[in-house]
Structure 1
Amino acid sequence: MLMKCAVAAVLMICALPAAAQERTAIKEGFVLPPHSGKTILLLRPTVSVGAQSTGGLFEPNGDWTEQARKNSGDALAARQAALGNKVISAPDSFGDDAQRADEYARLFAAVSQAVIEYQFFKGNRLPTKKHDNKAGVFDWSLGSGVRDLPGAKDADYALFLYNKDAYGSTGRKLLQIAAMLGPGLAVKSGEHAGYAGLVDLRTGDLLWLNADAAMGGDVRDADGAIKRIGQLLEDFPGSDAAQPAKP
């Protein structure tokens, strides 16, 4: 009976929403007024959805990923008007163009992770990122090669989005429960990370980033994707999307 109560208590703890880890930064001096007349190139979101094995390995699920990509695309389309600027979708690309787009999507994810590690956590902040103000110096770039991305010549900025969701398997959840009941053990079940960033297509400078390593919303269903996109575009500079996402 005592064991059943302990397991029930652990399950209740696991069911509680994760503490917000969201961090947002904007390049000093950058302003994007609503309806500025600027054009934003909306790149195809990087979406990866799967399961987390008992051992913690990511196991991609093609059906989940395709459903999440469709749901996210629909949600993004619904939010375009809220961006307060002209938004165009990147054209379909093939060959070298497709490879270039994929490389920059990966680069954006890597730079976002570096910002989280070395900008958002003050204790880890690099010497070149330190400043008297709390936010430090937000100065990151993807390089001027972004101007060669498909559709870049018709836009001022590019909007990158990255999502990775790993849903804990039954074995992983049981391992988490066992670890929480044991002494000094910590096992995380599930991973839900998302980054959204605005990049200057002339210079490659990262102008704004919203990154969250513990996002809400199940992207496998439409309502969850709407919530996720709302979180990703929270505090978008100078637009209606800066309104807080609904809980």
Structure 2
Amino acid sequence: MLRVFLVVVAAIGLAACVTTSDATITELNRPNGAARIVLLPPDVQLFELSAGGISEPKEDWSASAREHMTAALRQVERERNLRLINREDDQSTEEQVQVARLFRATASTIAQHHYVPAEQLPTKQGRIRWSIGSEAGLLRREETADYALMILLQDSFASAGRAAVIFLSAVLFGVQVEGGVQMGVAALVDLKTGEIVWYNRLARSAGDSRTAEGALETVRVLLTGLPQ
């Protein structure tokens, strides 16, 4: 997934926050009021950039960010009148785990082949026309769920050494050296058809999922454009 996100960063740049939401539906199915959505565990990875620009995984940061993101999703659940149904990998059958992996892989692939002009596929005709197949129904924890939500996020932060390089490069040479970036996608799949019915991607040089407040802000941005 990191390679895909780096391709997207190179293609769009990060002068400002970029979010792009695409949907094939205008509203969610809401029997009895609340839309019922299976929530897959957020795939969150945090990194620290060394002075030389190498991304070093920080598992303690990642674990904390996952907790904050999950709590933030619960708050957004109340704000948007959703019913999020947890689906943990360790409580799933092997078939369910494989479908979840396919969903993650498809969501990551869309980031590259829908938003990077040089990588676009002619058969998609510039539209979100992706599916994970009828096996999507295996993600249900109960028969009443209509959708499944997947969130992928990668957050990177400049180390003290990297910050010094950024400062000195700007002051001495007038060169802009890249610092931390936040890249993410959110995708919603229809569990009856397997079609990706909504997709949003995030790319910016701001954001901090290491804190509860930052995670909530990130979740709200990631869910921008989610059908009501």
Report the TM-score, using the length of structure 1 for normalisation: 0.73
The 8 Å contact of residues 162 and 195 in structure 1, kept in 2 or not, is answered as: yes
Alpha carbons of structure 1 residues 152 and 162: separation in structure 2 relative to 1, 3 Å: farther
Match of 2:90 in 1: 94
Percent identical among aligned pairs is: 31
- Distance, in Å, in 2 between the alignment partners of 1:236 and 1:48 is 23
Does 2:155 align with 1:165? Answer: yes
Q: Give the number of the structure whose alpha-carbon radius of gyration is greater.
A: 1
**Corresponding position of 2:28:** 32
Pair 175,152 (structure 1): closer, same or farther in 2 beyond 3 Å? farther
Change (3 A) 1:128 1:116: same
Q: Which of 7, 20, 23 in structure 1 is aligned with 2:20? A: 23
Name the CA distance, whole Å, in 1 between partners of 2:33 and 2:114. 29
Distance 1:107 1:187 in 2: 35
Q: 2 CA distance for matches of 1:98 and 1:215?
A: 37
Q: Which has the higher contact order (CA 8 A, sep 6+)?
A: 2
Residue 53 (str. 1) matches residue 50 (str. 2): yes
Structure 2 residue 120 is the aligned partner of structure 1 residue 125:
yes
TM-score, normalised with respect to structure 2: 0.78
Structure 1 residues 123, 201: CA separation in 2 closer, same or farther (over 3 Å shift)? same
Question: Please, which runs of 5 or more residues in structure 1 have no aligned partner?
Answer: 1-16, 131-135, 239-247
Choose the corresponding residue for 1:111, options 99, 106, 113: 106
Asked whether the equivalents of residues 99 and 135 of structure 2 are also in contact (C-alpha less than 8 Å), the reply is no
Shift of 1:202: 2.4
Q: CA deviation at 1:188?
A: 1.6
Q: What is the number of residues matched between the two proteins?
A: 214
Find the residue that maps to 2:152 and give its secondary structure. Answer: strand
Alpha-carbon distance in 2 for matches of 1:182, 1:57: 22
Residue type of the partner of 1:48? Answer: Q
> Distance between the aligned counterparts of 1:182 and 1:110, measured in 2?
42
Provide the C-alpha distance between the structure 2 equivalents of 1:82 and 1:219, rounded to a whole number of angstroms: 20
Match of 1:209?
A: 199
Q: Quote how far apart the aligned CAs of 1:20 are.
A: 1.9
